[in-house]
A = this chain, B = another copy of it.
């Protein structure tokens, strides 16, 4: 019963079956295979857009690559203070952009407020900061499990447009946000002003598959060169293509995200009924941050429940498509 992250599980059976099915026979390497072509076609269809696409194995690479398309050595990239970009991934965007700096903006509930963004960009003095505002990056769903609604996203992108800054979406949990909003992928991305999207599949049932989708053709040049330069290009590229193909087929990705969100929702509902528990952030997607008494935490750990502690009695619980309701019930029972 591991609630540490949505990357503790394995590969979803349907994706694994696809890998097995696609394993036979010879195909050309480096993306010139039918599986990759089919996955790309599916991504373009699902997103209703002729995007430039790069598939890679990790979320850090995906974000760094996406940012490098829009930012260079003297660029400033803005994200929420504490976002993955600024925190655990620092270093990769810097290497891939050739030196861009990341500037944090405080945000309530893990989301950037458009007014704060406006104020930050208006007050940013390139001459003093010695860097040029280039990109705003939003995480959808956010690192604390909240989701920007469409109006919120549009307000952010309007500020970006006003300041001539590009909009990136870190969609490591894109599907979880999407099913929460119940809207179309296009609406939550390029139609809302997103220029480049990092679309994750790994946390939602894939083995290791993330895609950069460049919606603005003006930014597409050189994407493949950047993939190769980072050492990110699979030779047996079919195994990235197969994952994405199966992930998107018949709405699998949405079903998996829905399951993960539902488990988080069950957790939140159950905890809300527990007088000793304090839910820290609105639960929109598949993460629950909750404060529990130390004795309860210790008891949970003793019973074999795993989760990350965030200080002050707050823990993070992450559900995934592999989490079952029984596990949730067991957790709730043990935390009561």
Contact = CB atoms under 8 A, between A and B. Distances in A.
Nearest to A238: B10
Contact of A28 (B4, B96, B98, B131): B4
Given A25-B10, A231-B56, A94 B90 contact: no
Interface residues on A, range: 35 or more
Given A58-B234, A131-B91, A74 B11 contact: no
A3 to B, nearest CB: 9
B11 A26 contact: no
A26 B7 CA distance: 9
Interface in A61-88: 61-65, 68, 72-74, 88
Contact of A225 (B2, B130, B233): B130
Contact of A130 (B11, B91, B127): B91
A296 to B, nearest CB: 22
Contacts of A249: none
A9 B28 CA distance: 9
Given A29-B5, A74-B225, A99-B98, A231 B64 contact: yes
B226 A74 contact: yes
A176 interface: no
Contacts of A225: 74, 91, 126-127, 129-132
A27 interface: yes
User: Which 9 pairs show the lowest CB-CB distances between chains A and B?
Assistant: A98-B98, A61-B231, A10-B23, A2-B26, A7-B235, A60-B231, A91-B229, A130-B225, A8-B26
Interface of A: 2, 4-5, 7-11, 16, 19-20, 22-29, 56-65, 68, 72-74, 88-92, 94-99, 101, 126-127, 129-132, 202-203, 207-208, 221-222, 224-226, 228-236, 238-239, 306, 322
